[in-house]
Each structure stands twice: as C-alpha cells, then as structure tokens.
Amino acid sequence: MADVRAVVLAAGRGVRMGGEQPKALIPMGDKQPLLHYILQGVDIAGIKDLLIVTGFGHDQIQSYVADTAGKTTAVLVRNARYASWGNFHSLRVALDQSPGADVLVINCDVVVPPDIYDRVVKQDGDLVLAVERRSGLDHEDMRVELDGDRVRAIGKEIKMVRSHGEFCGVSLVRPRAAAAFGDVCNQLEWSAGTSLYYEDVYARLLGALDARSAPVEAGEYAEVDEPGDVAQALEVISSHESKWDK
C-alpha cells in the first residue's frame, strides 16, 4: 500500500439515528459501532496516518479513538461549521490539513471490509470512487454513471436509466483533485453555496480530472442512515467478520 492519509468524516449529528450521540459510535445491534470497523480496517490496510473530522460529539469521539485506534496515529480536527454547512466543508478542512497527500476519504456511516480500502488506493486516477454496480437504486442512493471504470457523473439526480451503481462512501483524492476541490470550495463559499455534499463538488470536477471507479461487490457495503439500515450493516459485518480479525 502506498503512503496514504485516511480521513474519516464524522462531524454530523445523525438525527435520523436519534441524534443523542455521534452516529459513528452507535453499536450495530450486538456488534461494535461503525467507527470500530473503520479504525480496524484502516489499521489492517496498513494505513498509519489517520485524520478524523469531528463536529457533534467531538469529546466522545476523541475518547473512543484514544482507546481503540491501535497502531494507527489518529489526529482529530473540528469542523466548526458542521451544523450550518454541508459536509463538503468537512472534506475541505481535511484536505487543507493534508497538503500533497493521497487522501482516502471514508464516510463514518458506512461499513465495508478492509480490502475495499486497498482496491481504492491501488486504482489509477486523480479521483477514485468505490462503486457497487447494481440496478434497483432508489432516490436516496448516491448514483454513479460509468464508462468502463471511468466516472462520468455522480449525484442523486442522475436519471435511473443512466445510473450504473451506487457510490459506497469511500474515495481517494490525489493532490491534483485536492487542488481542484479547494478551488470549487472557494467559489461556493464566495457565492454562499454552502449547503452541498462533497459528492456535489466531485461532480463539478469530473470533466477536468481522471476519475475512476473501484469495484465493490454485492454484500460488501452498507450505509446506515436510519435504524432500519442496521440489519444490512450486520449482514456485511457477519459475512466478512474474519477480515477484521487479521
């Protein structure tokens, strides 16, 4: 594995999951919280440099990480605007803290086995997105249009007939893409366009960058937005549990 900084975006409150504690720290049924599997997966993938962007529940996340980060060196940075700006700003904060690095971006509300991180990091391109190719997407899915392994479009508004799969919340931002991301963020902030997701910024970069996809197979990914999603997360964890024990 190349030298990579992993970034976990963990600033949001997770209102649909109750909003009482950071979503990343909510146990998945009788299993560990999602952050456990992310920290363990990053360690197993051989990534020793980790930055976690926090907001809501910073102290809780800091305490949890101190107890469980293992061999990975973890740095926490607060996004002071987590409650008023879209999560594009969390990623902007992380990239500003990581000049010249290849940045592996991980949403705190997804679970994937550790080898997904390796697949993403090993793929060519300025920007790499983990994508599960499938049909039957719904309006909440972050849809992706592909041409082979090249990413042509990303967004929840892409027509279903143009969609080839779902973005799985893991991506790699290499320095050229990081610089372009910062430029778009500057434009958004000057124009008060501060409610966007970071995927919306990715969408604006695709015409100017080499954007690729890395494959995620069926059963390797779950996103937890609300309590009903926990069952799918448990299926992924149970099916791949041995991969977190290596």
**How is residue 125 written in tokens?**
């391109």
Contact by Cβ (8 Å): 78, 54 = yes
The mean per-residue pLDDT over the stretch 63-78 comes to: 81
d(CA 13, CA 24): 9
What does the pLDDT read at residue 1?
47
d(CA 31, CA 52): 22
What does the pLDDT read at residue 12?
87
d(CA 38, CA 43): 9
Q: Per residue in 34-49, pLDDT tens? A: 999 999 999 999 998 9
What does the pLDDT read at residue 191?
81
The mean per-residue pLDDT over the stretch 232-240 comes to: 95
Q: Per residue in 91-140, pLDDT tens? A: 999 999 999 999 999 999 999 999 999 999 999 999 999 999 988 888 88
Please give the residue that has the higher pLDDT: either 67 or 170: 170
3-state secondary structure the chain: CCCCEEEEEECCCCHHHCCCCCHHHCECCCCCEHHHHHHHHHHHCCCCEEEEEEECEHHHHHHHHHHHCCCCEEEEEECCCCCCCCCHHHHHHHHHCCCCCCEEEEECCEECCCHHHHHHHHCCCCEEEEEEECCCCCCCCCEEEEECCEEEEEECCCCHHHCCEEEEEEEEECHHHHHHHHHHHHHHHHCCCCCCCHHHHHHHHCCCCCEEEEECCCCCCEECCCHHHHHHHHHHHHHCHHHHCC
CA atoms within 13 A on the CB side of 78: 10
Q: Residue 74: which pLDDT band, with cuts at 50, 70 and 90?
A: confident
Q: Per residue in 1-27, pLDDT tens? A: 458 999 999 998 888 887 688 999 999
What does the pLDDT read at residue 70?
60
Contact by Cβ (8 Å): 155, 166 = no
Q: Per residue in 134-178, pLDDT tens? A: 888 888 889 999 999 999 999 999 998 889 999 999 999 999 999
What does the pLDDT read at residue 202?
97
Task: Looking at the structure, give the CATH architecture of the domain made up of residues 5-244.
Answer: Alpha-Beta Complex (3.90)
d(CA 177, CA 101): 11
